């Protein structure tokens, strides 16, 4: 495994739409493992593949050490509610802003074995799912911020 360099701010990789993973090869598994290592190394709760310069639909999430979730080709299939909460992003260090997101979402994806999985999340987990899936579409959270806040640390 290896820690990869996180693309930041104006890097064009962050604006790139990621393509669907057609086949889960050993290379895809290596990318997922590197993404997880990179996320933990930087104390993040989620990371999308284009944040390390790979335009493929791959996401890793671990909210408050609840366990690593790997998502391949994730899609939001249901969303409900709305709430504004603070969020940040490893690609925009030092920036915190309030973003309005659904407070409950259901996501369908593939796991590393290629099995279809369905993940339901609310609160911070739902927020992370939406934030990371936005990345795969070349969208970044600063475009959605309704008010910028002082970083807490
Ligand atoms: Zn992000």
- pLDDT tens, position by position, 30-59: 999 999 999 999 999 999 999 999 999 999
Looking at residue 59, the DSSP 8-state letter turns out to be E
Least confident of 1-5, 37-41, 98-102, 149-153: 149-153
From CA 101, how far away is CA 104, in angstroms rounded?
9
How many Å apart are CA 128 and CA 63, to the nearest integer? Answer: 8
pTM above 0.75, yes or no: yes
Domains of the chain, each with CATH number or no CATH: 12-149 (3.90.45.10)
How many beta carbons lie within 10 A of that of residue 153, not counting itself? 4
Kindly give the distance from the C-alpha atom of residue 135 to the centroid of ligand 1, in angstroms, as a whole number.
7
Catalytic residue set: 132
The whole-angstrom separation of Cα 32 and Cα 71 is: 9
In degrees and rounded to multiples of 5, residue 145 shows phi and psi of -65, 130
The Cα 127–Cα 130 span in angstroms is 5
Q: Is residue 65 predicted with pLDDT exceeding 80? A: no
Q: Which residues surround ligand 1, an ion (CB under 5 A)?
A: 89
149 alpha carbon – ligand 1 mean position (Å): 16
Please report the pLDDT score of residue 152 as a whole number: 66
């Amino acid at each position: 495994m290896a820690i990869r360099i996180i693309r930041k701010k104006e890097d064009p990789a962050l604006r790139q739409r990621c393509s669907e993973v057609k086949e889960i090869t050993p290379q895809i598994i290596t990318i997922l493992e590197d993404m997880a290592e990179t996320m933990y190394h930087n104390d993040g709760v989620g990371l999308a593949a284009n944040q390390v310069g790979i335009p493929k639909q791959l996401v890793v999430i671990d909210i408050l050490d609840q366990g690593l979730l790997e998502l391949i080709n994730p899609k939001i299939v249901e969303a409900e509610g709305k709430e504004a909460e603070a969020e940040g992003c490893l690609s925009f260090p030092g920036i915190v802003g309030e973003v309005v997101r659904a407070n409950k979402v259901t996501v369908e994806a593939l796991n590393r074995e290629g099995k279809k999985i369905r993940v339901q999340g609310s609160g911070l987990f739902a927020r992370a799912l939406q934030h990371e899936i936005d990345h795969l579409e070349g969208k970044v959270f600063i475009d959605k911020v309704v008010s910028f806040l002082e970083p807490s640390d």
